């Protein structure tokens, strides 16, 4: 597996995500993912499974420094005192004294962005996270976060799959020396039946999922999150570093983007998307 370097952070290009994953599934799958060779685990306060993620990483017997661990602060915890308390609670659940990356999960206009960024920086200065970032930010919020932050913002975790053009956000991230971390790569399963993707997959002897994950990590500065509750699929998702997509294949997949391609845009959380 290769890594993505962004503003001083070295992040494994393929992560194992735990969104909407039950505690028992986390306890079963995270150790298996780490055994297979995943070294990047992604969770969040709102997922309700940080305790199981922490238990699973401990059960793997891997040294803490070998696992890149990301969690996210939920929007109701953005006030400074709540922020610090919630991070300490996350660390206790995760059974660690630091995470590798701490993100603001969604924008929240109820708390000034300057206060949110100041809290991120304070937690980093206290050694509770090695790196900081954001999630689901548009270009305006991203630019303002960079302006406000003493420490570098290393990633913006956003929805990204073949049906959603994220060129604007990719350009913004690259301008700031950041990475993009892509979630919802499978577009709620739409990729599995897409003829463009299945044709490329058949020609290469790969699956459509492998083609999509390869398309993501083959782009400069892009990290992909994969998620599955099946051991066989986890191994398949990891096997994307032994082939490359041609320029024509990359272009064909980019060509699947459409104006209504966005899937995740919850009322009360989503910003004005670029």
DSSP states of 164-198 as a string? Answer: S--HHHHHHHHHTT-EEEEE-TTGGGGGGG-HHHH
* Catalytic residue check, 98: no
Please tell me whether 105 is known to bind a ligand: yes
Instruction: Compute the residue count for the chain.
Output: 274
Structure tokens at 42: 């992604």
Which residues, including other chains, have CB under 8 Å from residue 243's CB and lie 6 or more apart? 204, 206, 214
Which residues, including other chains, have CB under 8 Å from residue 146's CB and lie 6 or more apart? 153, 176
Assign residue 169 a region (left: φ > 0; alpha: ψ between -120 and 50; beta: otherwise). alpha
Give CA 23 to chain center in angstroms.
Answer: 19
CA 252/CA 254 separation, integer angstroms: 5
Residue from 47, 78, 160, 184 carrying the catalytic annotation: 47
**If you search the block for the tokens 């913002």, which residue do you land on?**
153
Query: 173, 216, 217: which is closest to 1 by C-alpha?
Result: 217
Which residues, including other chains, have CB under 8 Å from residue 117's CB and lie 6 or more apart? 145, 148, 149
Task: Reduce the DSSP state of residue 110 to 3 states and report it.
Answer: coil
Please give the annotated binding residues, written as ranges: 105
Please give the annotated binding residues for substrate, written as ranges: 105
Which residue numbers are catalytic? 47
């Amino acid at each position: 597996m290769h890594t993505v370097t962004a503003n001083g952070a070295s992040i494994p290009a393929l992560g194992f995500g735990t969104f909407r994953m039950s505690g028992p599934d986390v306890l079963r799958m995270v150790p298996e993912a780490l055994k297979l060779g995943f070294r990047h685990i992604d969770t969040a306060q709102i997922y309700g499974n940080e305790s199981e993620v922490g238990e699973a990483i401990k059960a793997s017997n891997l040294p803490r420094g070998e696992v890149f661990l990301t969690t996210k602060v939920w929007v109701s915890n953005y006030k400074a005192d709540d922020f610090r308390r919630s991070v300490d609670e996350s660390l206790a659940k995760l059974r660690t004294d630091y995470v590798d990356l701490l993100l603001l999960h969604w924008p929240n206009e109820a708390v000034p962005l300057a206060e949110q960024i100041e809290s991120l920086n304070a937690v980093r200065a206290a050694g509770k996270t090695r790196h900081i970032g954001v999630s689901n930010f548009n270009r305006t919020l991203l630019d303002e976060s960079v302006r406000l932050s003493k420490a570098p913002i290393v990633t913006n975790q956003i929805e990204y799959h073949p049906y959603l053009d994220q060129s604007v956000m990719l350009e913004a991230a690259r301008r700031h020396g950041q990475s993009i971390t892509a979630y919802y790569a499978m577009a709620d399963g739409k990729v599995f039946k897409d003829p463009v993707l299945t044709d490329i997959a058949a020609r290469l002897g790969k699956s459509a999922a492998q083609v999509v994950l390869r398309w993501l990590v083959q782009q400069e500065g892009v990290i992909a999150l994969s998620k599955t509750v099946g051991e066989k699929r986890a191994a398949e998702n990891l096997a994307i570093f032994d082939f490359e997509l041609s320029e024509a294949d990359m272009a064909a997949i980019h060509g699947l983007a459409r104006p209504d391609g966005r899937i995740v845009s919850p009322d009360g959380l989503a910003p004005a998307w670029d």
